[in-house]
């Protein structure tokens, strides 16, 4: 029986754990809590923090695991560390660091010979001001190590008070107490070319293409995930080539990675970031709904050297279902009453998940953590899909009562 170590048992890791059990593997878990939802499904639980590098390594050695996985961004360096130390399938710590750090990632792009904006990493506001003096505005200020666009802000001009506020927010979200400032690359559309790719040695598997639409009110915040991504073949090939150069330069050899890109005014592919983990917002499950390809299964099985599903996918005929996930945010602070879904669109809804209770206070959506609900929709064709998704906030939105201190 294959033995696999999973770091973390929060909601996002439940699918990994269940997939490992389906494959017949013995699942060892490191998770500091006793209450996370994945714990009941594992064979052995060690109450150890996923961030305690030596502790998780000791668990891996003791259990003689065949592989290690996670999709928790903070834990990915330790996944790499264990695989590196024990000679398991995986990546070097250095390769993952190049993707995790905003500064290292921009350096990586330059090393790979692809487009990259000017960028600086700072640990104090004075350093940020000094770096900003040499840059063209607008700029983007963001945490160097965070996820879900938390804290990310666009600053249009050199305004110290505005920049101070942005720095303070970003430093709170940053896991390494550093903040990134970089020149803003003009994005004419609110639609990002997104993908979850799978890396196995020199191969990149591209079953996870999607469009990611953002709201005009919160252009940094993913709002609508749309499958398929209908870009011209030449543009897709340009994205493939750019990403392949970056991944080769990074030294990454295994795993699922979330890639966000768009085209500059001069036609360059700008890779915003490559996250060293599966995407959130149910993206792996949506990819399976769209194509039939289970990237979570591919991640779990290849991590322990089981190539059966990988070989199966070589001849698997992909589906092309029209799938949309709407991530619902509020435009203002208020008291949540209910989620409105227009009767016109109800027949396309496959499932909904409401994240808050009636009567709870909701904040204006600024970060990914402010999501109120998820709504999964399947359409009959591309035309019907885009009839609704191109103006989807008209059909799906939260109904609120005003809070007393609402602004």
Distance from the first to the final alpha carbon of the chain: 58
Which CA distances in Å does 248 have to 62, 145, 216, 338? 33, 22, 35, 47
Between strands 322-328 and 373-379, the pairing is: antiparallel
Question: Which domains are present in the chain?
Answer: 3-88 (3.40.50.20), 96-100+187-320 (3.30.470.20), 118-183 (3.30.1490.20), 324-401 (3.30.470.20)
CA dist 211 and 179 (Å) reads: 28
Give the residue from 362, 333, 355, 349 showing the smallest Cα distance to 395: 349
Sheet holding 361-362, edge to edge: 361-362, 334-341, 396-401
CA dist 79 and 74 (Å) reads: 10
Task: Report whether 218 contacts 363 (CB < 8 A).
Answer: no
| The pair of three-digit structure tokens given for residue 199, joined into one six-digit string | 């890396």
404 Cβ contact partners less than 8 Å away, ≥ 6 residues apart: none
What is residue 371's DSSP assignment? -
Task: Report whether 36 contacts 14 (CB < 8 A).
Answer: no
Cis status, amide bond into 77, omega within 30 of 0: no
State the pLDDT at residue 221: 84
Q: Which H or E run contains 53?
A: helix 53-63
Q: Which residues of 276-305 are buried (b: 16+ CB within 10 A; e: fewer)?
A: bbbbbbbbbbbbbbbbebbbbbbbbbbbbe
Phi, psi angles (nearest 5°) of residue 94: -60, -40
Look up the pTM and report it.
Answer: 0.90
What is residue 180's DSSP assignment? E
CA dist 225 and 215 (Å) reads: 12
pLDDT tens string for the chain (407 positions)? Answer: 999 999 999 999 999 999 999 999 999 999 999 999 999 999 999 999 999 999 999 999 999 999 999 999 999 999 999 999 999 999 999 999 999 988 889 999 999 999 999 889 899 999 999 999 999 999 999 888 776 567 888 899 999 999 999 999 999 988 888 999 999 888 888 899 999 999 999 999 999 999 999 988 877 789 999 999 999 999 999 999 999 999 999 999 999 999 999 999 999 999 999 999 999 999 999 999 999 999 999 999 999 999 999 999 999 999 999 999 999 999 999 999 999 999 999 999 999 999 999 999 999 988 888 999 999 999 999 999 999 999 999 999 999 998 765 44
Q: Which H or E run contains 129?
A: helix 125-132
């Amino acid at each position: 029986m294959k033995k696999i170590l999973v770091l973390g048992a929060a909601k996002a890791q439940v699918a990994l754990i269940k997939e490992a059990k389906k494959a017949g593997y013995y699942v060892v878990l490191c998770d500091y809590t006793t209450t996370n939802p994945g714990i009941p499904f594992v064979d052995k639980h060690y109450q150890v923090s996923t961030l305690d590098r030596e502790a998780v390594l000791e668990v891996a050695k003791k259990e003689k695991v065949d592989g290690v996985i996670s999709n928790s961004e903070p834990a990915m360096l330790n996944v790499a560390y264990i695989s590196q130390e024990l000679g398991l399938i995986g990546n070097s710590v250095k390769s993952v660091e190049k993707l995790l750090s905003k500064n290292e990632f921009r350096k990586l792009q330059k090393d790979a010979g692809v487009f990259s904006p000017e960028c600086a990493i700072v640990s104090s506001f004075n350093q940020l001001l000094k770096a900003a003096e040499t840059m063209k505005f607008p700029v983007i200020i963001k945490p160097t190590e965070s996820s879900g666009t938390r804290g990310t802000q666009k600053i249009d001009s050199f305004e110290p008070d505005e920049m101070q506020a942005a720095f303070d927010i970003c430093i709170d979200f940053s896991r390494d107490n550093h903040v990134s400032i970089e020149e803003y690359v003009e994005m004419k559309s609110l639609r990002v070319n997104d993908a979850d790719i799978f890396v196995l040695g020199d191969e990149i598997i591209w079953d996870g293409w999607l469009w990611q639409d953002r709201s005009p009110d919160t252009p940094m915040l993913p709002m609508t995930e749309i499958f398929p991504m209908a870009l011209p073949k030449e543009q897709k090939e340009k994205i493939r080539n750019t990403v392949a150069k970056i991944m080769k330069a990074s030294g990454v050899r295994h795993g699922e990675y979330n890639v966000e890109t768009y085209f500059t005014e001069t036609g360059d592919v700008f890779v915003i970031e490559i996250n060293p983990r599966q995407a959130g917002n149910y993206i792996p499950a949506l990819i399976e709904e769209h194509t039939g390809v289970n990237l979570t299964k591919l991640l779990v099985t290849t991590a322990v050297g089981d190539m059966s599903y990988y070989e199966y996918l070589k001849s698997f005929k992909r589906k092309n279902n029209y799938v949309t996930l709407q991530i619902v945010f509020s435009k203002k602070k208020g008291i949540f009453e209910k989620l409105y879904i227009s009767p016109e669109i109800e027949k396309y809804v496959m499932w909904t998940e409401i994240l808050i209770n009636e009567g709870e206070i909701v904040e204006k959506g600024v970060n990914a953590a402010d999501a109120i609900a998820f709504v999964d929709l399947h359409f009959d064709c591309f035309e019907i899909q885009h009839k609704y998704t191109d103006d989807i906030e008209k059909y799906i939105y939260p109904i609120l009562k005003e809070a007393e201190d609402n602004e």
